[in-house]
Chains A and B, each alone.
Chain A
Amino acid sequence: MMVGDQPLVIAGREIRNRFFLGTGKFQSKEMMRETIQAAKIEVVTVALRRIDLHSPTPENILDFIPAGTVLMTNTSGARTAAEAVRLARLSREAGCGNWIKIEVINDSRYLLPDNLETLKATEQLAADGFVVFPYMYPDLYFARAMAKAGAAAVMPLGSLIGSHQGLKTREFIRIILAEIDTPVIVDAGIGTPSQALEAMEMGAAAVLANTAVAEAGDPPGLACAFTQAVAAGRLARLSSPPQPRDLASPSSPLTGFLYSSHDPG
């Protein structure tokens, strides 16, 4: 964290590393652990579907997450608000905490989130005391409604999951950043540190990536690069002069004549 910056505070928890990591697709769980440690990752998402809730197995993912890391379980696999709510409760009962990233996806080809069902789940889970992070398609109305429902942050997608295409939804995320006060965490499609940096320069509170790091030749190395890029983007944002307002105009070519003292008439 750079001088002058404040940590991101969510539900009373101070977060200094604003690069969040997803834990799927790693070559091994050992490599995932090494990556979290190397890049000093503070927040990880884990798919609840992958957590063994019943009995210890030799491959339980939770055993590979370093102590002190904030666990944000996600409802990957849920197709409806009802399923997401049930998974979230299952997660809390299993002792996985109450930070929940709501993923409601009802399209197996594009994996795009269903904003309507996600909003319903956000309303129910926020009311039930969860710290809720809805993964969403960047739509202003839904972002507002999720914020109003008590989301701790909204997580608009940059582009299709795993596509590495970066901020294809840039203009819509920009609008959400401008219009809501709830933190915005850009998630999905972030393939390079420079794309993460851009999201932070725009004003995102944090960035989450998974596939790009997990599939890298050197996952710990790339995770460190992401962490630094996110910090650089944050610093750039904080250090930039105020943006000129879109509505202001430096001169008045159409109305200036009304104020002219050289009226020939």
Chain B
Amino acid sequence: MIRVEEIRSILASDNRESFEKLAEEAATLTRRHFGRAKSLFAPLYLANYCDNGCLYCGFSQDRPIDRMCLEPAEIDAEMESLSGTGIRHVLLLTGESRSMTPVGYIRDAVERAHRRFATVSLEIYPLEEPEYGEMIEAGADGVTLYQETYNRTRYAELHPYGRKADYEYRRQAPERMARAGMHRITLGVLLGLAPIAEDAAELFLHLESLQRQYPGIDLSASFPRLIPLPDNPIQGEPVSDIQLIKLICLARILFPTIGITLSTRERPLIRDKALHLGVTRISAASRTTVGGYASRDCHDGQFSVQDERSLTEVITMLKANGMDPVLTDWHSLPADGQ
């Protein structure tokens, strides 16, 4: 039973003993269900054009940044460079612009990625159900989509225009993915945009309802913290390290078998410790700029990377902590005949 009052009180409590117990339970469940396997992936930004004006985001249409969209030859070069590092699971990202990065463009990138990587995931604007089906046919099997916040009032303030202003369309997207047959679905909120206990409770309820309706899906949760832009009025509510770790533990205890992802926006200490407590998937050697792996580097990334360790360094860290680095964790199965 997920109750917001309970989550609020756990997050606010300064009882170290009960926190330690929470962590112990989360660590035990993680070991029981995932053993020591930790899967590794890397993001690849295809474009940073966006049709929305999210007040907190570095890619917002209103921000005067360099805009880029990789050409097919550049996509190949990026993928060549990234796969050369040993990464076998790629997460393809775009800004949320249907006009600059239409479905056909993304589909083509998925097909290119499928030729070089074992697993292809997407973090793009929400699609229609048949469009998710097209992505699966092209070789994608995972989608990450952040609701950003489940607080409708706050959502409306932060997303003033563009397709993203439609809360419900975004909220229903994971169901469209599931109906289309998407294998892995990752949900999350951007911690700090709204009171976190409420957002966490809503995220957990969303996960629970998807798990019940679509039991075969490999569900994951992701817990990015808002990194406020320096010159921006939206600074959000700071989320402490303790609160972040408590949320990861709570997610693990409530959902013993789901994946939990933590990105390189967190610093190495937090990432390394969270791996014991619930995190099962981490990005490594990430570049968050368009063209970041090959030559054409656009300097404006979506967020600044706090963990700049190479893939080899991350693998060494995992082994030193008694964990098993997993580079290949699934083989995308595109439509027959490809």
Contacts and interface: CB of A to CB of B under 8 A. Distances in A.
A12 B326 CA distance: 34
Contacts of A29: 324
Given A52-B327, A83-B333, A25 B215 contact: no
A49 B37 contact: no
A97 interface: no
A147 B34 CA distance: 32
B1 to A, nearest CB: 16
Given A109-B215, A214-B35, 11 more contacts: A28-B324, A49-B331, A52-B118, A55-B83, A58-B315, A59-B315, A59-B325, A87-B331, A87-B333, A108-B219, A211-B35
Contacts of B219: 108
A51 interface: yes
Contacts of A109: 211, 215, 256-257
Interface in A22-59: 24-29, 48-55, 57-59
A105 B257 CA distance: 14
B164 interface: no
A60 B328 CA distance: 8
Contacts, number: 87
Contacts of A48: 331
Interface of B: 31-37, 83, 86, 88, 116-118, 183, 211, 215-219, 256-258, 312, 315, 319, 322-331, 333, 336
Contact of A52 (B319, B328, B333): B328
Contacts of B312: 58
Sort chain A's interface into a size bin: 20 to 34
Interface of A: 24-29, 48-55, 57-60, 77, 79, 83, 86-87, 90, 105-109, 111, 162, 211, 214-215
B326 A58 contact: no
Contacts of B31: 215
Contacts of A214: 35
Contact of A215 (B35, B117, B328): B35
Given A106-B216, A107-B216, A108-B216, A50 B329 contact: yes
Contact of B118 (A24, A53, A59): A53
Interface centre among B116, B328, B329 (most CB of A within 10 A): B328
A55 B32 CA distance: 31
A83 B328 CA distance: 17
B329 A24 contact: no
B330 A25 contact: no
Contacts of A90: 331
B76 to A, nearest CB: 15
In order of increasing CB-CB distance, the 4 nearest A-B pairs are A25-B35, A106-B216, A107-B215, A52-B328
Contacts of B330: 49, 77
Contacts of B327: 52, 57, 59
Given A55-B83, A59-B326, A108-B257, A26 B36 contact: yes
